[in-house]
């Protein structure tokens, strides 16, 4: 027995494994670990150095052949726990978001799934960030839908990997999309801030004839068949009238418009403390002509991530400041229990308080009496 380096009958070695008590909850935010407990995705990867702690060990002095030297025997070095992270995620809000997202994706047959982001605009805290479908953090390599479970064994390894990588993906930060009409609030903010419009309720300030000519191209209002006619800015937003916002974009001009894209932090990643954030896709400023400016003004022909939109709209909601989003707010030292607050990141003023109040008041009208009447919480 001695020759095989087994000294006595049974040796017990302690081992640790991550266990996630809320298996499916917030899986794409939390992420999971590899076989050596190294973080591979989500917060587990981003904060790996904080979380991993120090491994314990059994030390002894040996010669080149592994024979013991001296008579000190073995020394046991105990492991040091990793630090604790306090997340901004509210598990109740997260569960509710996941529940309704799942229902909405199933009801609307969203084959690509979907996501919901809920952010506190005052401090950037992400209260919920749901992605559907979700997966079990305790079994990240297992099939996650009934359809996949049925065919899993017959799939090639590459197919399995493709499916797993798709479900691990945090769509709210890693995927871009064309935001559409919700982007009109950005154009309205820039127009008010630049003084292109001042009174949001001035009757007859704008007139929709069903379309607008831009550099020889006629761009239609979505309700070209029955034009909106005379409108105030509030009415134009409630009607989601394209020509009015194209007209505002023209008055603001490419250079100024792009300066607002920049101030709203839509040209850069938000810097959220999660891995895999994508950036927006806008035409370069020097390539943007009148037609491109027109389509950007009502939210088309460019792509942003959901987190970029939520961050931009949060600066309208909080009185005009650009606050970076975050998912970790405190780190607790496992040894000393000392709590370190993570600073709220304020990137400065985007629009004035007065402008933000005007835009908020119009946004309220959109959901209380305008085109989004049915959905007070839709999209934003
Ligand atoms: Zn119109």
Question: How high is the pLDDT of residue 67?
Answer: 77
Closest CA to 305 of 274, 260, 348: 274
Domain ranges for the chain, please list them.
180-322+347-369
Question: Taking a C-beta distance cutoff of 8 angstroms, is the pair 359, 191 a contact?
Answer: no
**375 Cα: distance to centroid of ligand 1 (angstroms):** 21
Q: Judging by beta carbons within 10 Å of its beta carbon (0-12, 13-18, 19+), is residue 334 exposed, middle or buried?
A: middle
Q: Does residue 124 come out as left (phi exceeding 0), alpha (psi in the -120 to 50 range) or beta? A: left
Per-residue burial over 24-60, b if 16 or more Cβ lie within 10 Å, else e, is ebbbbbbbbbeeebebbbbbbbbbbebbbbeeeeeee
Distance, CA of 169 to CA of 41 (rounded, Å): 9
**Residues lower than pLDDT 70 in the chain:** 1-8, 14-16, 370-380
> Alpha helix (H) ranges present in the chain?
27-30, 42-46, 48-51, 91-107, 146-151, 157-168, 171-174, 184-193, 233-239, 242-252, 254-263, 290-297, 306-317, 353-369
Distance, CA of 323 to CA of 311 (rounded, Å): 7
**236 Cα: distance to centroid of ligand 1 (angstroms):** 7
Question: How high is the pLDDT of residue 79?
Answer: 79
Instruction: State the CB neighbour count (10 A cutoff) for residue 172.
Output: 27
pLDDT in tens, 173-213: 999 999 999 999 999 999 999 999 999 999 999 999 999 99
Distance, CA of 261 to CA of 310 (rounded, Å): 14
pTM metric for this prediction: 0.88
SS3 of residue 253 by DSSP: coil
Is beta strand 328-332 parallel, antiparallel or unpaired with respect to 84-87? antiparallel
**298 Cα: distance to centroid of ligand 1 (angstroms):** 12
CA 146 centroid distance within chain: 27
Distance, CA of 341 to CA of 332 (rounded, Å): 9
Class of the CATH-defined domain 180-322+347-369:
alpha beta
Question: How high is the pLDDT of residue 323?
Answer: 98
Both tokens of residue 208?
């929709």
Confirm whether 207 is a catalytic residue: no
Question: How high is the pLDDT of residue 255?
Answer: 97
Question: How high is the pLDDT of residue 338?
Answer: 96
Torsion sign (Cα): 63, 64, 65, 66: positive
State how far the alpha carbon of 50 is from the alpha carbons of 89, 179, 275, in Å.
Answer: 18, 36, 15
Distance, CA of 294 to CA of 249 (rounded, Å): 6
Q: Catalytic residue, from 27, 134, 181, 280: name it.
A: 181
CA 171 centroid distance within chain: 7
Question: How high is the pLDDT of residue 2?
Answer: 45
**211 Cα: distance to centroid of ligand 1 (angstroms):** 7
**291 Cα: distance to centroid of ligand 1 (angstroms):** 18
Question: How high is the pLDDT of residue 30?
Answer: 94
């Amino acid at each position: 027995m001695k020759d095989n380096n087994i000294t006595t009958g049974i040796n017990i070695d302690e081992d640790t494994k991550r266990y996630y008590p809320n298996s499916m909850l917030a899986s794409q935010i939390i992420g999971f670990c590899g076989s050596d407990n190294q973080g591979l995705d989500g917060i587990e990867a981003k904060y790996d150095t904080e979380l991993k702690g120090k491994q314990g060990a059994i030390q002894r002095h040996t010669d080149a052949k592994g024979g013991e030297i001296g008579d000190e025997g073995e020394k046991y070095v105990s492991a040091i726990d990793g630090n604790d992270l306090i997340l901004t995620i509210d598990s109740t809000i997260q569960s509710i978001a996941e529940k309704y997202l799942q229902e909405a994706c199933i009801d609307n047959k969203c084959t690509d799934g979907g996501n919901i982001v809920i952010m506190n605009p005052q401090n950037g805290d992400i209260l919920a960030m749901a992605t559907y479908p979700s997966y079990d953090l305790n079994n990240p390599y297992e099939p996650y839908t009934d359809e996949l479970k049925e065919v899993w064994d017959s799939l090639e390894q590459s197919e399995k990997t493709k499916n797993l990588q798709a479900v691990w993906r945090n769509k709210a930060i890693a995927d871009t999309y064309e935001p559409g009409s919700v982007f009109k609030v950005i154009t309205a903010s820039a127009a008010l801030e630049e003084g292109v419009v001042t009174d949001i309720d001035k009757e007859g300030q704008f007139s929709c004839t069903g379309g607008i000519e831009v550099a020889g191209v006629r761009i239609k209002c979505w309700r070209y068949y029955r034009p909106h006619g005379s409108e105030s800015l509030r009415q134009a937003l409630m009607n989601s009238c394209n020509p009015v916002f194209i007209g505002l974009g023209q008055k603001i001009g490419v250079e100024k418009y792009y300066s607002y894209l920049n101030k709203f932090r839509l040209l850069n990643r938000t810097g959220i403390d999660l891995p895999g954030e994508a950036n927006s896709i806008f035409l370069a400023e020097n390539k943007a002509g009148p037609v491109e400016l027109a389509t950007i003004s009502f939210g088309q022909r460019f792509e942003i991530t959901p987190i970029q939109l939520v961050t931009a709209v949060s600066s309208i909601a909080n009185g005009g400041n650009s606050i970076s989003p975050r998912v970790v707010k405190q780190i607790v030292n496992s040894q000393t229990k000392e709590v370190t607050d993570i600073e709220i990141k304020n990137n400065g003023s985007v629009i004035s308080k007065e402008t933000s109040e005007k835009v908020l008041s119009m946004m309220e009208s959109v959901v209380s009496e305008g085109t989004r009447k049915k959905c007070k919480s839709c999209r934003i």
